[in-house]
Amino acid sequence: MMNSNSKEIKHHVPNYFLNPSHPIGIIVAGIGGTGCIVASNLLKMHVTLKALDHIGLKVFLCDGSDIRPANQGRQEFYKDDIGKNKAYVLSARLNAAVGEYVFIPITEDVSKSTLNGSGWGYNKRLGINANIIIGCVDNIESREIFQWSMRKRRVAYDEDQLWYWMDCGNDFNSGQVILGSKLIHQPKGSVTRAKLPTAMEMMPEAIARIDDEDDTPSCSLAEAIDKQDMFINSTIADVGCHLLWNLLKDGFVTYNAVFVNLLTGEIGRNKL
């Protein structure tokens, strides 16, 4: 937990997050090397928040892909899972572990259709009402969709409102987590930041250079390791979930981005 410091610039969550009437809805877009670790971390977060008298989380795992042999080792999948949908398998496993129906499988990739229902965090067809998107899909099309969702108008009900997009991206042994937001009313009497810049706003040139051809599925675990080193995904997932934990538990953050380089052992952050 970050120490409170009156001189630090803070971003405070919407009032709804402090005493929500429904579980905080989170979409995890992409259940691959990073997304599956994020999902496991969200289980721990849900259990701990409930122990602190918070209503907890409702997590929508979105992925249209089936599990392949190359997904073993770096991801939370095993031999008997091969051929089954990623979101379905991981949701069932995590729900069994927690003993609640917390994780909802959405067996399609996130698209504008996924996010475009009666409200911009609500989709009656898929049963989604989400306040946060965690993007774990490293391609430009998905990021453009997430950025589009952040620009949409406010809706009538806070539980159906998308407030935040956390972008998780990496290459072979480095990566970043960037938490962006809509414009959010801040309390008076302190130095605050009402709008957190998104990944598309903070790193437009880097995002524009993403080559989707590098996102093609690997045929084997050995080939997958040639593209992304063993622990870069789990490191990105952990630092991202720690940032989210600060936001939900403390009600504010003093930084919105973390940059990791496992080759040099360096970790940096973007203070507000």
Domains of the chain with CATH codes? 11-271 (3.40.50.720)
Q: Are 165 and 135 in contact (CB under 8 A)?
A: yes
- The pTM assigned to this predicted structure is 0.88
181 Cα distance to chain centroid: 13
pLDDT tens across 202-250, in order?
Answer: 987 776 666 544 555 544 444 455 567 778 999 999 999 999 999 999 9
Report how far apart, in Å, the C-alpha atoms of 256 and of each of 118, 153, 262 are: 29, 22, 20
- The most distant pair of C-alpha atoms in the chain lies apart, rounded to whole Å, by 56
**For residue 129, which amino acid is it?**
N
Report how far apart, in Å, the C-alpha atoms of 231 and of each of 58, 112, 149, 178, 237 are: 27, 31, 30, 19, 10
Q: What pLDDT is attached to residue 35?
A: 96
pLDDT tens across 87-132, in order?
Answer: 999 999 999 999 999 999 999 888 877 776 544 455 555 557 789 9
Q: Are 150 and 182 in contact (CB under 8 A)?
A: yes
